Structures are given as C-alpha cells and as structure tokens.
Amino acid sequence: LAKTTQPISMDSYEGQEVNITCSHNNIATNDYITWYQQFPSQGPRFIIQGYKTKVTNEVASLFIPADRKSSTLSLPRVSLSDTAVYYCLVANNAGNMLTFGGGTRLMVKP
Amino acid sequence: NAGVTQTPKFQVLKTGQSMTLQCAQDMNHEYMSWYRQDPGMGLRLIHYSVGAGITDQGEVPNGYNVSRSTTEDFPLRLLSAAPSQTSVYFCASSSTSGRNEQFFGPGTRLTVL
C-alpha cells in the first residue's frame, strides 16, 4: 500500500489561495490520486481526482509532478465555508489497494 | 435520490456483543465499501464489494464480516465487539471502483465498552 503523508493543520484567511500537499513516495504506476473534503459529523465528499500533470474543476485544482511522488490540492480564494478536513487518497484501479492520508485540518479565518 | 444511508447513527455496545451496521444506496452502484475512521489515521478500508455476491477484504478486516445479497445493501457485522472497534464507520459506493469518485454515507459512531 502507498503511504500517504499530509500536514496535520493549516490556517488561512478569506480570499487567499490555499495549497495542501500530500506526499506518496511509493505510489504505484496504476494508482490515481483523489482528494476529499470532510465536515464535522459528515462523510467525506469528493473534490477532485488526477493521474498526472494538472487537473482543474469548478472548485479546485490538482497539481501532480512528473515523478508523482506528491500532489498538491489548490483551493482558490477560500471562504469560511471551506473550513474542513481535507484527505488525499491513493488508490489502484480495482479499488482494493487504497490509502487515505491522515487528513489536513484547514481553518479559514475572517 | 437518498444517496448512501447508514443506520444507526450512534451505537453503544458491551464487549462481546454482536451487531450489524446497515448500509444502503439507491444509485445502482456496483462498488460498495466500509471504512473505519480513527483520530489522526484517516480512513481505513475494512471490506469492499464489486457487485452482488462478491466481497473481499480490505486493510483491516479482522473482527468484521460482510455480505452483498443485493446491489443496494451492504451490511457490516461485528461478531464479538471489542473496545478496539470503537470508531466511526463509513459506508461508501461508487459506480465502478474505489479508485473513482466514492459517495459516502453520514457514518455510524460506535462505542464499545
């Protein structure tokens, strides 16, 4: 299983861009990287997924370097409602070998 | 669509008791899975299923059983509860596999005394 490591917590202010990095040094060739957001007392919610280079959707961007040993979730112009825990997930195609990071608690301040 | 539903929301058990955590989804997803979430450890895969009648073990399967008799339901059974199984349990489903977007239920908070 790929080992994933994330910072435990981060602070930011409204309107700033936030970058959260996940380290996955032993990622396998066929593994994909996914990021989830979790609010208290709720299940995680999908944010974005990628394999390599850059992926962007309406809420975030995901940057993956060529060696794929890390990935960075970028949240543009965060608001108070983005205060949550963010998890990276490395998973194989079958979904039977998957590892969540320990989560990064993001606090957005006014 | 209700999405993924889980019952109960909270449960307290005594050591040695057994119980079943219920999970259902109405999205016709083939892949379903169970995770446990412990502080600072993210989510760990307990069991998963790629379709009705097919189940397999994840990272931490000991002490848990599953079955998948229908596409919609994927119950998780604790055979003889232990304090180490105190955790928050999440059920999830995906249209294809755990690699793709998973939809999570609201969770069951279990305490074993």
Cα angle B101, A95, B65 (rounded to 5 degrees) comes to 110
Per-residue pLDDT of chain B (113 residues; tens, 9 = 90+): 789 999 999 999 999 999 999 999 999 999 999 999 998 778 999 999 999 999 999 999 999 999 999 999 999 999 999 999 999 999 999 998 878 899 999 999 999 99
Q: How far is A61 from chain B (nearest CA, A)?
A: 16
Average pLDDT over residues A56-75: 96
| Tens-place pLDDT, residues A53-64 | 899 999 999 999
Instruction: State chain A's mean pLDDT as an integer.
Output: 94
Helix/strand/coil (H, E, C) string of B46-80?
Answer: EEEEEECCEEEECCCCCCEEECCCCCCECCEEECC
Tokens matching residue A106: 């993001």
Which pLDDT score, from 0 to 100, does residue B70 have? 97
A21 neighbors A109 (Cβ within 8 angstroms): no
Please indicate whether, in this complex, the C-beta atoms of B101 and A103 are within 8 angstroms of each other: no
DSSP three-state, residue A88: strand
Measured between alpha carbons, how far is B92 from B81 in angstroms, rounded to an integer?
22
> What is the average pLDDT across A14-34?
94
- Record the tokens describing residue B5, joined without a space: 């539903």
Contacting residues of A for B42, CB less than 8 Å apart: 4, 87, 99-103
**Following DSSP, what letter does each residue of A34-60 receive, concatenated?**
EEEEE-TTS--EEEEEESSEEEE-SS-
